[in-house]
Structure 1
Amino acid sequence: MDYQVQLNNGKAINLTNAEFDAAVFTATLNDQKVNFVNIGGAIINKHVIVGVLPVTAIQPETQA
């Protein structure tokens, strides 16, 4: 499945055909000893992650 990791700086990391175990990822984010996570080969500070969503759940913004 394809996922998008949304970051607090407005950027996103797109993961294509990624295997994602939400339970393991949540446990890693909640581990106070861990500050960085590997997402699709990118090592990022876990505190900049806003959300991880399946690409099918992302709605494009519409302009009025």
Structure 2
Amino acid sequence: IRVILDMEDKTLAFERGYEFLGVAFRGLPKACLYPAVSAVYGNTEVTLVYLGKPLDG
């Protein structure tokens, strides 16, 4: 599962594999956000990818 946070469009969307599942949230407030991940099963691999600089520089 891929989570796509777009602070320019103020949206949060999801993908599974290469299938876009759609936008889950619109109109997100401008705020400091911190990623949090929870994994239920052992041997789970999580990757965070940074795709740009913060809007405030």
TM-score, normalised by the number of residues in structure 1: 0.28
More helix as a share of residues: 1
With CA pairs under 8 Å and 6+ residues apart, which has the higher RCO, 1 or 2?
A: 1
TM-score w.r.t. structure 2 length? 0.30
